[in-house]
Amino acid sequence: MIKSFVQIFICGWWLCPELYLRRPFHAHATSRLDALLEEKAKQGVQIYVLLYKEVALALKINSVYSKRKLLGIHENVRVLRYPDHFSSGVYLWSHHEKLVIVDYQICFIGGLDLCFGRYDSFEHTVGDYPPLIWPGKDYYNPRESEPNSWEDTMKDELDRGKYPRMPWHDVHCALWGPPCRDVARHFVQRWNYAKRNKAPNEQAIPLLMPQHHVVIPHYMGRSREIEVESKKVGDNYVDIKRQDSFSSQSSFQDIPLLMPQEADELDTSNGDSKLNGLDETHDLRDQTSRGSRSPFSFRKSKIEPSVSDMPMKGFVDDLDTLQHPRELSSDVMVQPSMKTADKKWWETQERGDLLVSADESGQVGPRIPCRCQVIRSVSQWSAGTSQIEESIHIAYCSLIEKAEHFVYIENQFFISGLSGDEAIQNRVLEALYRRIMRAYNEKKYFRVIIVIPLLPGFQGGLDDGGAASVRVIMHWQYQTICRGHNSILHNLYDLLGPKMHDYISFYGLRAYGRLFDGGPVASSQVYVHSKVMIIDDCTALIGSANINDRSLLGSRDSEIGVLIEDKEFVDSCMGGKPWKAGKFSFSLRLSLWSEHLGLHAGEISQVNDPVVDSTYKDIWMATAKTNTMIYQDVFSCIPNDLIHSRAALRQCMTDWKEKLGHTTIDLGIAPEKLESYEDGDIKGTDPLERLKSVKGHLVSFPLEFMCKEDLRPVFNESEYYATQVFH
């Protein structure tokens, strides 16, 4: 954003203007989001912020405060919140995308909102006292407490001496080149639809015009392509005053169609691709459960963005500020080309040569030329489309079905259904089940690894009367994973027996540390918020969509993601045999695994092959098992496989509170000394000595936790009357 010339688009579920983008925050005052946006606005950059307008009774993200704060920065900052719940009739669903798009040339897409609690490093530190990294309410643990007000942002919500922050694990990616225009078109489509519905006559809120080829809709009686030359000054766009292509007086009926040039008319000279044929995927849903959808297809070398069906009665004439359209390509510059002599700002590498390996911390991956497809979940209420688009859902199912060796998933939720499940409509689970059974019948190695949060990230102890939302999400996830006739482990066990764990396994993340020098040793789950899937080290899916009906059906929450296919490969192994791994997907998995497993630079090659037993069983599963046992010995932290009922949970909480005097809502404080018997005597040891054997953050997901309880809400809980909200 610092180097933007023309426009910045920001789209978020939650945005905190006081967020520091760099840390330590004391040394980076100018990196605060509101300060950065003010600086760019004063330079003439046009800034558009599209926020989710929450139901205030249900969420405490206070978007009206964020809007007021942003509008007070400068007249070049425009803000829209959507939807208006009463007029639209939309109360249950949200705008869930997390996007930043700069000058149509670079965009950031994934799971990270620009808000408190998200900043973290691969160490996942649990304490920060005195404040150095996380100021005020950025020291965040929603399991313990959600602030009632975000306006006094520098005031702590939690006692840093008693409560750990909840570390945050997420995945976001940067795209360069033509796909950024597709992502920007999504923003423009949503902005214009919100403008049309909320502020059709408000001059301060302009309509936007997408860059690139635009097609007049067929129902206008003509189908000619409009190409517009940009007003370009030198090699930059500093002198372009506006990029809207509309005046503030434009009629709300002039909102443009966002249809790109037909992909079939474009050059397809890049050759064959593994992404071809995804449109041949069988529909995994029950044909009677929902209406049919258009097939989702990937072209050989071109992006095929989604189509908007918004009406356009009077196409405007002032189109001359659009950039000269280039051919619509699916090549994404994760590593910009350095061949041209005159480089734009987005083509420079301040970090040096990152083509082959990630930085030492593993947090910034290599920039590599790839092919990509932008995918979405949108519908009439969210984007004004006449048809529901669920291309993220279809991409998940298609990629899983076509996986050759393994599927790696990290997601905030895992709620899905098998064929015949009437409650859950998305069929990611069915795709996994079919692919595993195919591997079993063919007697081939196939691994599915799924990493999710240990507990939902909502406030309240599991036995609290006000924590029904936590329990109901747990119910649906356990129904998906291991409980009931529609769960995947139940069905696999019927056919495979204990061998099912050779094919699929579930994990979480946990961290520990002192809250301050000399302070108590604390632990917290590392909250998995990433929405990423890696297939065969060759293809990656990154976005905002969770694996649940809310995110995947298209008619509920709006979402956006990108499917990245590697074009450049390195020598690797898969199942003990030589394998060409994609540079981007391979490096992403190694970065994630080295963090989760606590691997140092010289050890990362041990997990190059994710399928063989020496990796899957001897390193991945063994590390998770050992770490889980150590955390159980030190903390008896919640959740764990020894607690099967709410009565057992209450007893455990009572015992530890009597023993420690103070603990956290999920038993995250260690005793000063661990007691053990040696030669008949009680011996006390420092808990940190035991915890030194923990490697990384990987732990086993507790499949037996609360297994004797019905976690569904009861009739006197509000969650009982809107269960679809939680899956």
Domain of residue 11, residue span = 1-121+128-163
Secondary structure (3-state) at 82: strand
d(CA 498, CA 302): 44
pLDDT of 167 > 60? The answer is: yes
Over the stretch 414-472, which tens digit does the pLDDT of each residue have?
Answer: 999 999 999 999 999 999 999 999 999 999 999 999 999 999 999 999 999 889 999 99
Over the stretch 457-476, which tens digit does the pLDDT of each residue have?
Answer: 999 999 998 899 999 999 99
**Is 670 inside a domain boundary?**
no
- Reduced 3-state DSSP string for 359-427: CCCCCCCCCCEEEEEEEEEECHHHHCCCCCEEHHHHHHHHHHHHCCCEEEEECCCECCCCCCCCCCCCC
- pLDDT band (50, 70, 90) for residue 726: confident
d(CA 596, CA 697): 5
Task: Find the range with the poorest average confidence among 271-275, 514-518, 593-597.
Answer: 271-275
In the chain, DSSP finds a helix count (H) and a strand count (E) of 15, 25
**Is 674 inside a domain boundary?**
no
**Is 675 inside a domain boundary?**
no
d(CA 450, CA 164): 26
In the prediction, which pLDDT does 664 show? 95
Nearest C-alpha neighbor of 331 from the set 186, 189, 184, 181: 181
Pairing mode, strands 331-333 and 172-176: unpaired
DSSP state of 278: G
- pLDDT band (50, 70, 90) for residue 698: very high
**Is 240 inside a domain boundary?**
no
Selecting among 98, 137, 172, 596, the annotated active-site residue is: 98
In the prediction, which pLDDT does 57 show? 82
Pairing mode, strands 46-52 and 77-82: parallel
Is the CA virtual torsion 138, 140, 142, 146 positive or negative?
negative
**Is 544 inside a domain boundary?**
yes
Amino acid at 66: S
Q: What is the CATH number of the domain that holds 468?
A: 3.30.870.10
- What whole-number percentage of the chain has pLDDT above 90? 69
Selecting among 536, 557, 566, 666, the annotated active-site residue is: 536
Element (H, E) at 480: helix 468-481
Q: Which residue has the higher pLDDT, 680 or 587?
A: 587
pLDDT of 199 > 70? The answer is: yes
Q: Is 96 part of the annotated catalytic residue set?
A: yes
Q: Which residue has the higher pLDDT, 5 or 530?
A: 530
Over the stretch 68-116, which tens digit does the pLDDT of each residue have?
Answer: 999 999 999 999 999 998 778 888 999 999 999 999 999 999 999 999 9
In the prediction, which pLDDT does 211 show? 76
Nearest C-alpha neighbor of 328 from the set 264, 376, 274, 375: 264
Rounded to an integer, the average pLDDT of 121-140 is 96
- What whole-number percentage of the chain has pLDDT above 70? 79
Secondary structure (3-state) at 445: coil
**Is 210 inside a domain boundary?**
no
Over the stretch 337-394, which tens digit does the pLDDT of each residue have?
Answer: 333 334 443 344 333 333 334 444 456 767 899 999 999 999 999 999 999 999 999 9
In the prediction, which pLDDT does 342 show? 43
Q: Is 692 part of the annotated catalytic residue set?
A: no
Over the stretch 299-341, which tens digit does the pLDDT of each residue have?
Answer: 332 323 233 333 322 222 222 222 222 333 356 555 323 333 3
- pLDDT band (50, 70, 90) for residue 242: very low
- pLDDT band (50, 70, 90) for residue 690: very high
Q: What is the CATH number of the domain that holds 96?
A: 3.30.870
Selecting among 69, 95, 96, 198, the annotated active-site residue is: 96
Q: Is 286 part of the annotated catalytic residue set?
A: no
Nearest C-alpha neighbor of 141 from the set 671, 664, 517, 661: 664
What value does the mean pLDDT of the chain take?
Answer: 83
Amino acid at 665: I
Q: Is 567 part of the annotated catalytic residue set?
A: no
Rounded to an integer, the average pLDDT of 213-238 is 37
Selecting among 137, 274, 531, 697, the annotated active-site residue is: 531
**Is 684 inside a domain boundary?**
no
**Is 231 inside a domain boundary?**
no
Number of domains within the chain: 2
In the prediction, which pLDDT does 251 show? 43
pLDDT of 229 > 70? The answer is: no
In the prediction, which pLDDT does 280 show? 40
d(CA 376, CA 379): 10
Q: Is 531 part of the annotated catalytic residue set?
A: yes
Q: Is 402 part of the annotated catalytic residue set?
A: no
In the prediction, which pLDDT does 61 show? 92
Domain boundary among the residues 136, 163, 190 is at: 163
Locus of tokens 């946006």: 37
Over the stretch 247-268, which tens digit does the pLDDT of each residue have?
Answer: 334 444 444 434 433 333 333 3
pLDDT of 25 > 80? The answer is: yes
In the prediction, which pLDDT does 285 show? 54
- pLDDT band (50, 70, 90) for residue 718: confident
pLDDT of 122 > 60? The answer is: yes
Task: Find the range with the poorest average confidence among 215-219, 490-494, 609-613.
Answer: 215-219
Selecting among 40, 67, 103, 195, the annotated active-site residue is: 103
Selecting among 53, 67, 274, 529, the annotated active-site residue is: 529
Strand partners, 569: 582
